[in-house]
């Protein structure tokens, strides 16, 4: 009886030890290729192998019905070694593919050892151009907050800057920031995203988080200027207050629903992105109407508008270039929200440009503070 118990314990310990030292492969998570390129991919076991390991490739996702990459049938890793093994991969067709590296050499069950996401493009040069454009429009959007701050400081007045726009803008950036921070910095939420999108890539980058935090800080700083400088009779309208109360009440109610496990935290964050969407669609309207009533754009920085127009235009250009380079036009038409918001912002920027340079260019000051209410 004692011998049987000891053997059982040893068996359990042996299984636990094997599970603890399970082999995984060190492999690149993402590989970018151009059509016709041949790339040598390096893989290495995480621990010395006790036996020869045969690695096979299982394509779990492909954006095309045909093969996107040409892979070997299998790769053999030698025993008692942690050295890298190299195998060639050839780009065949523009698209994306997710490949799982597997092995069943030590058991009847197939084990997943690593995952590689391949991105095949028309041109690597065009991919670099898209990256450069991305950094340019990111910089333009980030800098666009400063002309208004400088304008307020020079005039020691915020008359002409619509308070409804500021209030809506602050809530929009806070909502967008919560979405970005949650998806980028909270591992639990990122795991939920990857679980729902096993072949996807986290859409939030570090630059998105920086932009959100920077936008919130600069908008709050501008609001502080409104408390210090001349503002006349300007104030946040009752309609805007009602919209903001509705937005945050919606966020509070969905928080209780999330805590009650009716929806996931990932879904809750997506609700914040919807708040950002709605606010972006309406936030420019009060400023346009205010300029129309005053017949002047004094106090509303045109530098902000020009930088925003530059950023929005380049972002749409990038979307078209990426769609062509990836042969994936769903990047535009499959995400009408992003594309539509870009066009909507550019449309309002054009209205502001026409107001400033054509309609009200000779207006040197505001007509009446009371006319804004």
Q: Which residues contact 351 (CB under 8 A, 6 or more apart)?
A: 284, 288
Identify the structural domains of the chain with CATH numbers, from first to last. 23-121 (2.60.40.10), 124-372 (no CATH)
Give the DSSP H/E element, type plus range, for residue 101: strand 95-103
Give whichever of 45-54, 248-257, 341-350 has the largest mean pLDDT. Answer: 248-257
pLDDT (0 to 100) of residue 107:
55
Question: Do the bridges between strand 111-121 and strand 30-34 make them parallel or antiparallel, or are there none, so unpaired?
Answer: parallel
Q: Is the pLDDT of residue 370 over 50?
A: no
Cα 178–Cα 179–Cα 183 angle in degrees, nearest 5? 115
Query: For residue 20, what pLDDT band results from cuts at 50, 70 and 90?
Result: very low
Give the residue-averaged pLDDT of 55-77.
86
- φ and ψ at residue 328, rounded to 5 degrees: -140, 85
The whole-angstrom separation of Cα 198 and Cα 8 is 38
pLDDT (0 to 100) of residue 372:
45
The whole-angstrom separation of Cα 264 and Cα 367 is 51
Give the residue-averaged pLDDT of 148-156.
95
First to last CA, the chain: 91
Question: What sign for the dihedral angle of Cα 76, 77, 80, 83?
Answer: positive
Average pLDDT, the chain: 84
The whole-angstrom separation of Cα 97 and Cα 120 is 8
Q: From the DSSP assignment, how many helices (H) and strands (E) are in the chain?
A: 12, 9
């Amino acid at each position: 009886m004692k011998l049987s118990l000891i053997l059982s314990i040893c068996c359990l310990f042996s299984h636990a030890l094997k599970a603890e030292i399970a082999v995984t492969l060190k492999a690149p998570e993402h590989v970018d290729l151009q059509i016709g390129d041949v790339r040598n991919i390096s893989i290495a076991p995480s621990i010395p192998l006790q036996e020869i390991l045969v690695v096979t490739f299982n394509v779990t996702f492909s954006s095309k019905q045909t093969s996107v990459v040409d892979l070997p049938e299998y790769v053999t890793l030698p025993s008692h070694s942690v050295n890298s093994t190299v195998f060639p991969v050839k780009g065949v067709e523009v698209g994306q593919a997710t490949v799982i590296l597997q092995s069943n050499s030590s058991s009847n069950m197939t084990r997943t050892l690593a995952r590689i996401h391949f991105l095949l493009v028309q041109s690597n040069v065009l991919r670099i151009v898209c990256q450069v454009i991305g950094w340019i429009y990111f910089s333009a959007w980030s800098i666009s907050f400063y002309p208004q701050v400088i304008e307020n400081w020079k005039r020691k007045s915020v008359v002409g800057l619509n308070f409804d726009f500021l209030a809506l803008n602050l809530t929009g950036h806070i909502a967008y920031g919560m979405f970005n921070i949650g998806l980028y910095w909270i591992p639990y939420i990122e795991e939920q995203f990857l679980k729902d999108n096993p072949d996807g890539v986290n859409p939030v980058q570090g630059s998105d988080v920086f932009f959100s935090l920077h936008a919130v800080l600069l908008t709050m700083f501008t609001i502080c200027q409104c408390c210090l400088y001349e503002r006349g009779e300007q104030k946040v309208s009752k309609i805007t207050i009602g919209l903001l109360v509705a937005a945050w009440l919606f966020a509070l109610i969905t928080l209780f629903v999330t805590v009650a496990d009716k929806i996931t935290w990932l879904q809750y964050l997506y609700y914040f992105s919807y708040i950002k969407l709605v606010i972006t669609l309406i936030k420019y309207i009060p400023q346009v109407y205010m300029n129309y009533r005053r017949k002047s754009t004094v106090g509303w920085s045109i530098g902000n508008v020009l930088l925003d127009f530059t950023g929005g235009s380049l972002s749409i250009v990038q979307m078209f270039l990426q769609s062509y380079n990836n042969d994936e036009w769903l990047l535009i038409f499959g995400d009408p929200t992003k594309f539509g918001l870009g066009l909507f912002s550019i449309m309002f920027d054009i209205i502001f440009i026409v107001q400033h340079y054509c309609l009200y260019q000779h207006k040197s000051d505001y007509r009446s503070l009371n006319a804004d209410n």
